[in-house]
Structure 1
Amino acid sequence: MATHKLLLDYEEKEKYSLLAIHCSEEAYKVAYLLNKHLGLQLKREVLDLDYSRENIDISYPLFKFDDSFEYTTFYLVANKCKSIVAVEAVTTSLFSEDTSEKTVTNYLLPEFKKVDFFLKIHSEYDVYPLQDIIGEINKIKQIISAYHLEAESIKSKNNLIFD
């Protein structure tokens, strides 16, 4: 009996630009600064990005602004999430259980561990003034640096699907 194998080589490419932001502030403060200096209206989503790895619940704060006049959507998401994990110690005693807590850091995009936040810009236009946005972000004194990431350098692209 003949076996038929179907291969699906089509991969829909989402048009977006990704900016890396280095900043030691909290996510809500970064959203506020971007709103103030870029004229955005980033608001916290009702549901954060939730993942579960190795029995650890991971939640990344997600902010969104949908600019209907420019046909552009902005997403601000944190790259780091710190979780507390209970670790049970092996004991020889019959009645004592030693448990300790350990903090584990998880990354949305593990290949960019030094990046604190990502600004994903999804636009209907082929050309979007990224250099202007990067220049304005770098003028903010609380932000250390911001720069554009090429799509080819991102290995964990599936983690950037927010819808």
Structure 2
Amino acid sequence: MAIHKLDLGEFDEIDYYLIAIHTSLEDYRLAFFINQKLPINLSKSKNEIQISIKEGETKFSRYYYYDTEKTLSWDLIQNKNEVIQHKKEVSQNLFSNIALEVSTKVYLLPEFKKADYFLKIEDDETSTVLNIITILNTIDGISTAYSVDTNKIKSKNNLIF
């Protein structure tokens, strides 16, 4: 009788590149400028990325494009968002029954708190990613763009969508 073994390491391979983008641009403006510079057509996805934490739930905006010729998928993902909690304080004083709003910053990838957006490219060529980073750095509203080592990401599950 033959024994068949599965190596789970084969399924854990990372088949995408991640580019961190630092910018003060809104997500729709950033997608517009990227569409102008690169031969892609990012559009707002209805499937936003939802994250649940103890303070509440939040959604991160996502722009998506699938290149049928090269069979590549592109995702522009927001990294920073806020969770707003509504707390009601009940006390016996002059300011009783005060409703408070507490805002908590939430990150898609907490290891990269300074990055505003991520561009996730499912590709297998490093040379094209380096060209893309060079092009992204020419956009006026982008402070910097750089490649992220995907092996250093602890919260990889947030990038599965």
TM over 0.5, shorter chain: yes
Deviation at 1:155, TM superposition (A): 0.7
CA distance in 2, matches of 1:33, 1:19: 16
CA distance in 2, matches of 1:78, 1:30: 11
Q: Is residue 16 from structure 1 mapped to residue 10 from structure 2 by the alignment?
A: no
Q: 1:111 corresponds to which residue?
A: 111
Gaps of 5+ in 2: 1-5
Please say which of residues 139-148 and 11-20 is displaced more in the overlay. Answer: 11-20
Deviation at 1:96, TM superposition (A): 3.3
Alignment of structure 1 residues 17-96 onto 2, 5 Å: 17-93=17-93, 96=96
Deviation at 1:23, TM superposition (A): 0.6
Deviation at 1:103, TM superposition (A): 1.6
Q: 2:128 corresponds to which residue?
A: 129
Contact kept? 2:42, 2:64, Cα under 8 Å: yes
Deviation at 1:26, TM superposition (A): 1.0
Contact kept? 2:55, 2:85, Cα under 8 Å: no
Please say which of residues 126-135 and 84-93 is displaced more in the overlay. Answer: 84-93
CA distance in 2, matches of 1:138, 1:127: 17
How many pairs does the alignment contain? 154
CA distance in 1, matches of 2:103, 2:25: 19
Q: For residue 34 of structure 1, what is the amino acid of its counterpart?
A: I
CA distance in 1, matches of 2:26, 2:126: 31
Deviation at 1:83, TM superposition (A): 2.5
Misfit runs of 4+, over 4 Å: none
Q: For residue 142 of structure 2, what is the amino acid of its counterpart?
A: I
Deviation at 1:55, TM superposition (A): 5.0
CA-to-partner distance for each residue in 1:101-157, whole Å, 9 max, x for gaps? 12211000011100000000002x444511110000000010000000011111100
CA distance in 1, matches of 2:111, 2:119: 16
Q: 2:97 corresponds to which residue?
A: 97
SS of corresponding position for 2:8:
coil
CA distance in 1, matches of 2:125, 2:39: 21
After TM superposition, the score normalised by the length of structure 2 is 0.87
Contact kept? 2:89, 2:96, Cα under 8 Å: no
Contact kept? 2:86, 2:99, Cα under 8 Å: yes
Q: 1:148 corresponds to which residue?
A: 147
CA distance in 2, matches of 1:62, 1:160: 11
After TM superposition, the score normalised by the length of structure 1 is 0.86
CA distance in 1, matches of 2:62, 2:23: 16
Q: 2:3 corresponds to which residue?
A: none
Deviation at 1:52, TM superposition (A): 2.1
Q: 1:139 corresponds to which residue?
A: 138
| Alignment RMSD (CA, Å) | 2.0
